[in-house]
């Protein structure tokens, strides 16, 4: 027991140190490069163009990447846990599609200035919540819901929202089309500090609440029936965790756009490396997702500098490659 706890602590410390290193790398890399000592000096003086670059451009991106990466990762972990399916991710259930659909409506009908800079995130959140309610009404509100039926319903909702978005893109103007495509590829370039702090706070609260259910998630690994024998209210737990994961996904997608593979590959990779005990898996998955997204953002904004790539392109390429490699090296599959 003590040996296992010691190993877990060392893993968490390693990830925290890696996160700190990635944060400094993100601060230093860009069109203007800074050394470690320069970063500390600039941040301490709090003046000049260099400070503006670090404090107003790079730090907000890092904070948003941390929050969104962590939120999407633990959302994927939770959904894989309650559905007992390693291929489930936050976007499988149509939540991101709902957010994208809401944003597409706002762009097409010229509502971008309704709430100033908050318009697209507000409509994204509305779309995500609408999909959560729809899925709940169709499947989750039933007393004896079938997990596979809920999953299939979510997949069909995802296909429907994707089709509606394609219809909008096919019938709108080229200017609106460009805005929709750019948003759906994902970006951490959010000028509103209030939204960044909002996502950061919700992400951390979600992490704490989900961690309180680690025992329930461990029990659900044995199946709903066996979990009930252990005193777990399986149906209530699934509903609560589904709503939490949906909120985390919805708020993340609404602010940062559609960023794929984070909620799929990070839980898979960490489960493969450290095991499937949710006591350690929840924390490490959150940290791993934050590290992965910050690293992906570094690549997205430096690989073709001074231009930037959408971060969804980078997460898709890197995440897909990691998934294929991990799958090929696993004798039993992931």
Assigned fold of 2-329? ABC transporter involved in vitamin B12 uptake, BtuC (1.10.3470)
What is the three-class DSSP state of 173? coil
Q: Is 232 a residue whose pLDDT tops 70?
A: yes
- Measure the CA–CA gap between 143 and 147, rounded to whole angstroms: 12
Residue 242, token pair as written in the block = 């589904």
Mean pLDDT of 240-255: 85
pLDDT attached to residue 212: 93
Buried b (16+ CB within 10 A) or exposed e, 141-179: eeeebebeebbebbeebbebbeebbeebeeebeeebbeb
pLDDT top residue among 320 and 62: 62
Q: Is 255 a residue whose pLDDT tops 80?
A: yes
pLDDT top residue among 101 and 288: 288
Mean pLDDT of 222-227: 72
Domain ranges of the chain: 2-329
pLDDT digits (tens, 9 = 90+) for 47-98: 778 888 888 888 999 999 999 999 999 999 998 888 887 777 777 777 878 8
- Measure the CA–CA gap between 34 and 42, rounded to whole angstroms: 9
Exposed/middle/buried for 37, CB within 10 Å: 0-12, 13-18, 19+? exposed
Q: Is 332 a residue whose pLDDT tops 60?
A: no
Residue 3, token pair as written in the block = 């040996």
Say how many C-beta atoms besides its own lie within 10 A of residue 125's C-beta: 21
Could you tell me if 253 and 96 are in contact, meaning their C-beta atoms sit under 8 angstroms apart? yes
Q: Is 327 a residue whose pLDDT tops 70?
A: no
pLDDT digits (tens, 9 = 90+) for 179-207: 787 777 778 887 778 888 889 999 999 99
Q: Is 140 a residue whose pLDDT tops 80?
A: no
Q: Residue 193: which H helix or E strand, with range?
A: helix 193-211
pLDDT digits (tens, 9 = 90+) for 22-53: 999 998 887 778 888 888 888 887 777 888 88
pLDDT attached to residue 280: 92
pLDDT digits (tens, 9 = 90+) for 279-312: 999 999 999 999 999 999 998 888 877 778 888 8
Q: How confident is the model at residue 125 (pLDDT cuts 50, 70, 90)?
A: confident
pLDDT attached to residue 283: 95
The whole-model pTM stands at 0.87
């Amino acid at each position: 027991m003590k040996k296992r706890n010691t190993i877990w602590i060392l893993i968490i410390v390693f990830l925290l140190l890696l996160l700190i290193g990635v944060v400094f790398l993100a601060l230093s890399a860009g069109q203007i490069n800074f050394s470690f000592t320069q970063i500390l000096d600039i941040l301490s003086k709090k003046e000049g163009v260099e400070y503006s670059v670090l404090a107003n451009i790079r730090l907000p991106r890092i904070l948003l990447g941390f929050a969104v990466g962590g939120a999407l990762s633990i959302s994927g972990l939770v959904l894989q846990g309650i559905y007992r399916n390693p291929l489930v991710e936050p976007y499988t259930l149509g939540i991101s599609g709902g957010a994208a659909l809401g944003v597409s409506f706002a762009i097409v009908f010229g509502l971008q200035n309704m709430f100033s800079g908050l318009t697209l995130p507000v409509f994204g959140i509305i779309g995500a919540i609408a999909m959560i309610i729809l899925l709940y009404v169709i499947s989750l509100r039933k007393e004896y819901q079938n997990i596979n039926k809920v999953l299939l319903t979510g997949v069909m909702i995802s296909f429907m929202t994707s089709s509606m978005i394609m219809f909008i893109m096919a019938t709108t103007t080229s200017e609106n089309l460009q805005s929709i495509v750019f948003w759906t590829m994902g970006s951490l370039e959010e000028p509103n500090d209030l939204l960044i702090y909002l996502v950061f706070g919700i992400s951390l609260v979600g992490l704490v609440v989900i961690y309180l259910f680690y025992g329930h998630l461990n029990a659900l690994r044995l199946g709903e029936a066996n979990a009930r024998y252990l005193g777990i209210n399986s149906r209530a737990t699934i509903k609560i965790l589904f709503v939490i994961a949906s909120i985390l996904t919805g708020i993340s997608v609404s602010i940062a756009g559609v960023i794929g593979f984070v909620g799929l590959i990070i839980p898979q990779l960490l489960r493969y490396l450290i095991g499937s005990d949710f006591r350690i898996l929840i924390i490490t998955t959150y940290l791993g997702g934050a590290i992965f997204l910050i690293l992906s953002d570094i690549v997205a904004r430096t690989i073709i500098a001074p231009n930037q790539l959408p971060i969804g392109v980078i997460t898709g390429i890197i995440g897909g490659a990691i998934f294929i490699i991990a799958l090929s090296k696993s004798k039993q599959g992931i």
